[in-house]
Amino acid sequence: MSGKGAEKLIYGFHAVLARLRHDPGGVLDIYLDLTRRDARARDLVHQAKEAGVKLAQVEADRLERLVGKAAQHQGVVARVRPVVLSHSLDDILDAIQGPPLLVLLDGVTDPHNLGAILRSADAFGVHAVIAPKDNAVGLNATVEKVASGAAETVPYLMVTNLARTIEDLKERNIWVIAADMDGEQTLSGIDCTTGIAWVLGAEGTGIRRLVKQSCDQVARIPIGGTVESLNVSVSAALCLYETVRQRS
């Protein structure tokens, strides 16, 4: 059932309810564990009825056959059409009013990290999250579940060459800042009031040398304690908070 190119499966209450609210026409049908009788399940049944979406109450093993035993589906799976927020970074940038705010990810392959970053991106008003097509995670069901609906609202673009995309952003007068522990400036020393794109790498490997060299500046997050670095999703949230703090 999930093999058709124009369909995919998402799971978890946050992801399914978010899709129902933002794009009910894209929800084909919903499968709910028939043992779920709690408030969240009742709310889902109500939302599906309001949206005119077919909802079937099924045995738990049917859900496991759909998404696998390892998936933390919480008792709900939906068959949906993929959301297409935008085909073009240029279209997104042309439509922005005020200073752009972007996040570029280099080598982030953990779907939990991407989901958390998308959630922060939605909270702080990021216009797009950008990653390379190679060595990056796509918008899979785990990402959508962790993102709690943000995968439906924040454009996630995968580009062929991240360094070339950085050069394109610089031509649009967007300040490109790498967040890395060897930065000379701290976050608070960066002027975030202009258009800005934060570049973050995966924990452990960091940002690739060529990508970092393409950036205008390198900024570090001042940390103490015994840890050498923060999780990339935490780093992204701190960079975005500092941006919004300065702009407000």
- Please indicate, yes or no, whether residues 42 and 157 belong to a single structural domain of this protein: no
- Residue 2, domain member (yes or no): no
Residues in the chain: 248
* 22-25 contact pairs (CB < 8 A, 24+): 22/149, 22/152, 22/153, 23/80, 23/83, 23/152, 24/51, 24/52, 24/53
Hey, what amino acid is at 65?
Answer: R
Tell me the angle at which helices 232-247 and 111-123 cross, rounded to the nearest 10 degrees.
10
More confident residue, 74 or 106: 106
Residue-wise pLDDT tens digits, 133-182: 998 998 888 898 888 878 888 999 999 999 999 999 999 999 999 999 88
Domains held by the chain: number: 2
- Please indicate, yes or no, whether residues 206 and 120 belong to a single structural domain of this protein: yes
Residue-wise pLDDT tens digits, 180-227: 988 889 999 999 999 999 999 987 788 999 999 999 999 999 887 776
Share of the chain above pLDDT 70, in %: 95
- Please indicate, yes or no, whether residues 156 and 60 belong to a single structural domain of this protein: no
- Please indicate, yes or no, whether residues 14 and 134 belong to a single structural domain of this protein: no
- Please indicate, yes or no, whether residues 202 and 227 belong to a single structural domain of this protein: yes
Domain boundary, last residue among 62, 80, 98: 80
- Please indicate, yes or no, whether residues 58 and 99 belong to a single structural domain of this protein: no
With a cut of 60, say whether residue 1 has pLDDT above it. no
- Please indicate, yes or no, whether residues 136 and 230 belong to a single structural domain of this protein: yes
Residue range(s) defining the domain that contains residue 106:
89-247
Q: What is the pTM of this model?
A: 0.74
Residue with tokens 């959301």: 83
